[in-house]
Structure formats: structure tokens, C-alpha cells
Amino acid sequence: MDSALGATIAKNEGYELIALHFNYGQRTEVKELDCFRKISKNLGAIESYEIDLDFFKQIGASALTDNALEIPTTGVEEGVPITYVPFRNGIFISIATAIAEKHGAEALFIGVVEEDSSGYPDCRDEYITSMEKSINLGTKEETKLDIKMPLVHMQKSEIVTKSIALNVPLKDTWSCYKNEDKACGVCDSCRLRLNGFDIAGVEDPIAYL
């Protein structure tokens, strides 16, 4: 949902979209890929990339990529949860930078949310800003990339409201960490999503699928 809104904002700001999706061995990999294809088509992306990063399963250390670890379902806890994938966004941004440099892109849009997230360290404004400096130091002199994070200080309810206002196809987004057929409603990501819809006073279109 966050990435779909971020991409929609990019389009509304006049950018041509190059859509990028990662299959990294997450439990809901097939469902997320299907959503990506629908959303990128809906937004009229001029090109799209689907990158496979199987090594995340080899690294493990996250309940999203290691089936031996249980997805927490008792509520959002303090600190960094077991669903954190080590340095995932840093790796994603690095690959996105390579693609952006190839195409001569001006900006990278990322749907990170700091204030209403699950406590992931790689979703912080400070971290993403530092990555922007690093990628511009490590690319060609003519490469000048801005990393834009339009959602970073929004609450989930604000993301829901903004998505509806911009006609983001929320029925084609997926947040559940556990299931690909019916959202579980109890993992951290489902809880944050459902709470956002509840505060916004709107029914989640995937809540009962």
C-alpha cells in the first residue's frame, strides 16, 4: 500500500515511472508480485524490473524469509521485530540506484514510513537521507539522484486517506506477512494496516477476501 501510494505521487509529480519489485523469498512473494504487476500496469510504467534476491533466504534471521521462525501475531511490539530483514532497504536502494543510473533517472521514490512502522531501522528518514549522499558519491558525476520518501512522516491512517484521494487501487495492494490468499489480520503489518483504515473510517477492501 505504501509503495503504491509513493508511485502514484511520483506520477502525479510528472515523473515517468520505471517500476521495480524484489522477490527475496518472502512468504507472500507470489501475491506481492501479482500486486506489483497490476499496480505498475495501472500507473502506466514505461518499464518494469522484477529482481530475484534469493540470498536473503540463505542469510535468514527474519521470520519473513525463514520458515523456521514464527510470524508474531500477538501485537506490535517495541524495538526491532523478528520480521525485520537485515539491511533489506539498503540493498534495495543500491540495486535501484544501478537501474536509475542506467536510465539517467532523476529520483528514486521509496514508500518507507518512520512514525507508524514496525520499528525497522532502515525505514528512518535519517538513514535514507544518508543513503542518498552515499549513492551520489558512488555513481558517475553526472548522476544526480534524489531519494524521495513522501510517506516517511505520515501515519497509516493518513496514507489510507491520501490513497483514496489519489485513487490508488487499494484492492490490488497486499500487506500481510503470513498469507497469500486471505490476509491474516493479526501480524504486525495487518494490524497497522487495519488500524489505519479504522482511524480513517474506511473499510479495507482486502480485509474479507
> Residue type at 136?
N
With 0-12 / 13-18 / 19 or more C-beta atoms within 10 angstroms meaning exposed / middle / buried, residue 52 is exposed
- Distance (Å) of CA 189 to CA 1, 143, 162, 185: 11, 35, 19, 8
Residue 209 lies in a domain: no
pLDDT at residue 21 in the model: 98
pLDDT at residue 115 in the model: 79
* The pLDDT of residue 197 is above 60: yes
* The pLDDT of residue 170 is above 90: yes
Residue 156 lies in a domain: yes
Residue 207 lies in a domain: no
Residue 194 lies in a domain: yes
* The pLDDT of residue 100 is above 90: yes
* The pLDDT of residue 54 is above 60: yes
* The pLDDT of residue 118 is above 90: no
Beta strands in the chain (DSSP E): 18-23, 47-52, 107-109, 146-148
Residue 208 lies in a domain: no
* The pLDDT of residue 77 is above 90: no
Query: What's the pTM?
Result: 0.96
Half-sphere exposure of 180 toward its Cβ, with a 13 Å CA cutoff?
11
At 138, is the pLDDT very low, low, confident or very high (cuts 50, 70, 90)?
A: very high
Average pLDDT for the chain: 96
Q: Domain of 17?
A: 2-200
pLDDT at residue 209 in the model: 55
Residue 67 lies in a domain: yes
Q: State how many domains the chain has.
A: 1
Binding residues: 176, 184, 187, 190
Half-sphere exposure of 187 toward its Cβ, with a 13 Å CA cutoff?
22
**Residue 187 belongs to a domain with what CATH number?**
3.40.50.620
Residue 58 lies in a domain: yes
Binding residues for Zn(2+): 176, 184, 187, 190
